[in-house]
Amino acid sequence: MGDPRLKKFTEIICDSLDVVEDDVVLVLGTQGATPLILQLQREIIQRKAFPEIRVTLEQMQYILLKWGETKHLHRFPPGLAKEIELATKLISIESPRNPNQMSRIDQDRLNLWNQTVEPYHARLDFVPTVVTIFPNHYYADKAEMSLEEYENLFYQAVSVDLEKLYSKYSLVEKCLSEGQFFQIKSPDTNLSFELGDRDFTMHSLLINLPDGEIFCSPLEDSVEGYIQFEHASYYGKTFPNLYLEFEKGSLVKFSTDGDKKEFKKLINTDEGACKVGKFGLGINPAIKELTNDILFDEKIARTCNISLGDAYPEVGGTNRSAIHFDIVKDMRPDGQVFMDEKLIYKAGQFKNCI
C-alpha cells in the first residue's frame, strides 16, 4: 500500500494551481520522483485535465553541461519549448540523488545555459506554476535527519492550511506594503532598501511547496549596506560565510570561504545578476529548523532571505537576470527589521505591525 500522504500531496498541488477541466498541465521531473509523478497523472486525469509528462534522467543535464559544445548550450529543446507554450499550468519536481555532480561544472558554462533557458523561465511569469520536491535520502542527509523524520517534516510543511496562514498574516502584509524604507540589522548585517509604490505579498504565480513567505522586490537602485550569511549554495556549488556589500543597488564587494572565482562568474552572469531581486520573510510554522535546502529554509518562520538576480514582476520588480539565487539568513536570536525607522520585527517575531 502506498503512502496516503502522497495522494493528499497531489491534491494540494492541484488545488494550489486550481487545476480544472481541459487544463494542459505540464509535469517536469526526474526518475527519482516517479511515485509522485504517477500519482499526479492520476489526479490530473480525475480532474478532467490533460497531463503532459516529461521525465528526464538526472545525469542528462550533467552530460550536456560537461560535454556540450557552445552550440549545444545555446539550444533549448524545441519539444520542451512547445510544451511550455501550450501549457496552462506547470509542475516542476526536484528529486536529485547526486546534485553535487554540478559543483565542478565551470560557472561560465552554467551561465551560458541559464541565459538560454531564461526566456522560457520568463514565460512562467504568466503561467501558474508549482515548484516542489519529492523527499529522498539526499534531502534527509542534508537536513541531518533520517528519511522517516524528513518525510514527516515535509508532509507537515506542505499540509499547512495556507488560507489560514494568509489570513493570519494579512494585516502584516498590508502593514509592510505601507512602508517606504526598510533596514535589516544584526551584529553582522546592516542592509537597507526602499519599496516605493510596490507591495509585499504572500502570493505569486510561482508557488513553492512548502509555501509560507511574505516578500517584495526592492527598488532596483535602492539597496545599500551589507549582509552576512552562514551558508549559500547554487547548482551544487557552496559558498559558506558569504558576505555581500551593496551600493546604489549593485553588489560591489563580497567574500566567502568558498570558491571566489566561481562566485564572481555567477554574479557576472548578466547585468541583473548583481542586484537584489527579492527580499522575503519566512512564516511557515511547521518548519522550525534549517534543513540546508532553500525551498524549505526560506519559509522558516524567523528567517529572512534575499535573492540575487531575477525579480518578481507581480510585485513591481523590473530586474531581469538568467539567475535567481536565494540565500537565507536566520534572524534568531537578535535580528531586527525596521520600517521607516520603526521596529517591526525582532528575533523572528513581528512587532507593531498587526
**Per residue, what are the HEC states of 261-325?**
HHHHHHHCCCHHHHEEEEEEEECECCCCCCCCCHHHHCCECCEEEEEEECCCHHHCCCCCCCCEE
On the question of pLDDT at 194 being above 90, the answer is: yes
pLDDT digits 0-9 by tens, 273-318: 999 999 999 999 999 888 988 888 999 988 999 999 999 888 899 9
Residue 185 lies in a domain: yes
Residue 154 lies in a domain: no
Cα angle, residue 32 at apex, residues 31 and 36 outer, rounded to 5°: 95
Phi (first) and psi of residue 351, to 5 degrees: -125, 140
Residue 263 lies in a domain: yes
> What pLDDT is stored for residue 102 in this prediction?
86
- The residue among 277, 269, 308, 297 whose CA lies nearest residue 210 is 297
What is the pLDDT confidence band of residue 354, given thresholds at 50, 70 and 90? low
Residue 210: is the preceding peptide bond cis (ω within 30°)? Answer: yes
Q: How is residue 257 annotated by DSSP?
A: S
Mean pLDDT, residues 88-100: 90
> What pLDDT is stored for residue 254 in this prediction?
97
Mean pLDDT, residues 319-340: 93
245 and 314 assigned to the same domain: yes
Residue 22 lies in a domain: yes
Locate all alpha helices (DSSP H) within 159-293, ordered by sequence: 162-168, 170-177, 260-267
191 and 306 assigned to the same domain: yes
What is the pTM assigned to this prediction? Answer: 0.90
CA distance 329 to 298: 8
- Coil, helix or strand at residue 246: strand
Instruction: Establish how many alpha carbons lie within 13 A of residue 211's alpha carbon, considering only the half-sphere containing its beta carbon.
Output: 25
Sign of the dihedral through C-alpha 307, 312, 316, 317 = positive
CA distance 247 to 86: 42
205 and 104 assigned to the same domain: no
pLDDT digits 0-9 by tens, 260-278: 999 999 999 999 999 999 9
Task: Write out the residue range of the structural domain in which residue 53 sits.
Answer: 4-134
100 and 40 assigned to the same domain: yes
Mean pLDDT, residues 94-122: 88
> Crossing angle of helices 147-158/4-17, nearest 10°?
30
Beta-ladder partners of 184? 191, 337
How many independent structural domains does the chain possess? 2
Mean pLDDT, residues 65-69: 95
174 and 122 assigned to the same domain: no
The x, y and z cell numbers of residue 247, run together, are: 551600493
219 and 337 assigned to the same domain: yes
271 and 179 assigned to the same domain: yes
92 and 193 assigned to the same domain: no
On the question of pLDDT at 347 being above 90, the answer is: no
242 and 332 assigned to the same domain: yes
316 and 246 assigned to the same domain: yes
Contact 321, 310 (CB under 8 A): yes
Contact 132, 13 (CB under 8 A): yes
- The residue among 215, 231, 336 whose CA lies nearest residue 276 is 215
Locate all alpha helices (DSSP H) within the chain, ordered by sequence: 4-17, 34-46, 58-67, 70-73, 78-86, 107-123, 137-142, 147-158, 162-168, 170-177, 260-267, 294-297
Query: Which residues make Cβ contacts (< 8 Å) with residue 141, sequence separation at least 6?
Result: none
Residue 156 lies in a domain: no
Q: Which residue carries 528575533 as its cell?
A: 347
Q: Nearest 10 degrees: CA dihedral of 65, 68, 74, 76?
A: -70
pLDDT digits 0-9 by tens, 16-47: 999 999 999 999 999 999 999 999 999 999 99
Residue 147 lies in a domain: no
Residue 285 lies in a domain: yes
91 and 221 assigned to the same domain: no
269 and 181 assigned to the same domain: yes
Residue 299 lies in a domain: yes
